[in-house]
Amino acid sequence: MIDRQSSKNEKKEAQNMTEKLFYMDSHLKEFDATVISCEPYGEGYLAVLDRTAFFPEGGGQASDTGWLNDTEVSDVQEKNGSIYHYIKDVISTGVTVHGKIQWEKRFSRMQQHTAEHIISGLVHKQYAYRNVGFHLADTYCTMDFDGPLSKEQLQEIERKANEAVFQNILLEVLYPSKEELEKLDYRSKIEIEGQVRIVRIPGYDVCACCAPHVKRTGEIGLIKMVHVQNYKGGVRITMLSGDRALDDYRQKEESVKNIMSLLTAKEELVVEAVEQLKEDNNTLKMQMLELQRSMLRMKAEQISADSEVCIFEDHMDMGLAREFMNLMLGKGAKICAVFCRKDEKEYRYVIGSKSQNMQELGKYLYQSFSGKGGGKPDMIQGTIQGNQQDIEAAFHANAKKGKKRESK
């Protein structure tokens, strides 16, 4: 038995099917249309037009934004052939509205998306890898491939992708019949209800895609891979195209020029200058470490090896803290604690003993000073929060209790 309400809704949605102007002309920036419906939704309204240049979210690409008259369009979605525009203010049904999309944002997305097709097509053609993930954000684009690619292979893919841009190839959009589709070799072969839209870049890619693209590859301007990481057995590539690639180049050029100025180095010698600076820095660190070690030895000689030694230092390396602890234990101290200030309220610490179990002391410190850490019976380390006076008093009081319990 047919649900009458569902039948009515389907008939209403069929009547409201929107003509997709973005498929007729992907570069259409403004248009006029008639409002078919405008219903309350959330804090705004959902408007359906008889036709629209606003692309709804799909194919890994976000929806267009813009305006209907003076009302902002913040999101666009499609359902059963009807395209819904999310707007803030109500628009009367039956009136004619003037639509205007945010062209700079749309054009940038078309540049990125077409560049993604070129790269994915090249990777598929040369290595038979699939694009298993695609994300087109407002500042970057990522592609996930299900196989490994070396630095040299990626450089070759990038070179060939830009060759496609320089050739200024005319893109083709096909709407094959079911029989033609079965014979067609294309990427993204998934079960799709209704007409499948094929975007072809001759010599580079054939792929099912619902999103608008540039008309010619030359509009992309430039394709640049800026980051690659291993991901789920394959690679994730971050890519920039067009103005995004140019902005990235300008930013990096500015960084290089600033480094040149700071190091008084020519552009072609910047890497060598940075390497030399790094080497000099490592040498200074080693010299400083040796100086700190010498100072600690002198300090250890000046401190009496009492049964309990407790010192506080500002920003001491924990490796040096352990060395100082071992020096004092070697001089005869039964317990040695070194607390290194991390900030105003937090200390890193290391506490050791050759004769007593430090784990009970550690547990007391964690509970008393919101600390964390661990260790073995002869040495514990971690972090605690508090002031020097309270921490020192608690250490001495508990260390003495520990000795009394041990002597029983």
- Sign, CA dihedral 270-272-273-275, equals positive
| Phi/psi at 235 (5° precision) | -135, 150
pLDDT in tens, 28-68: 999 999 999 999 999 999 999 999 999 999 888 899 999 99
pLDDT at 62: 92
Give whichever of 240-249, 364-373, 391-400 has the largest mean pLDDT. 240-249
Structure tokens at 288: 């400083």
pLDDT at 6: 35
Cβ within 8 Å of residue 333, ≥6 positions away: 305, 306, 307, 308, 309
- Compute the average pLDDT of residues 275-293: 91
- The answer to whether the beta carbons of residues 243 and 220 sit under 8 Å apart is no
Greater pLDDT, 140 or 300: 140
pLDDT higher than 80, residue 403:
no
- Per DSSP, the residues of 304-317 read ---SEEEEEEES--
pLDDT at 125: 95
Lowest mean pLDDT among 3-7, 71-75, 303-307: 3-7
pLDDT at 307: 77
pLDDT at 18: 95
pLDDT at 21: 97
pLDDT in tens, 129-179: 999 999 999 999 999 999 999 999 999 999 999 999 999 999 999 999 988
pLDDT at 397: 86
Q: How far is the C-alpha of 58 from the C-alpha of 64, rounded, in Å?
A: 11
Q: How far is the C-alpha of 343 from the C-alpha of 199, rounded, in Å?
A: 58
pLDDT in tens, 84-104: 999 999 999 999 999 999 999
Give residue 345's pLDDT band: very low, low, confident or very high (50, 70, 90). Answer: confident
- Compute the average pLDDT of residues 223-244: 96
pLDDT higher than 70, residue 400:
no
- Compute the average pLDDT of residues 379-385: 92
pLDDT at 11: 40
Please give the C-alpha separations between residue 388 and each of 81, 175, 338, 395, in angstroms, as whole numbers.
Answer: 70, 76, 12, 10
pLDDT at 10: 37
pLDDT at 221: 96
pLDDT at 190: 72
Q: Which ranges constitute the DSSP H helices of 167-191?
A: 178-183
pLDDT more than 70, % of the chain: 93
pLDDT at 16: 63
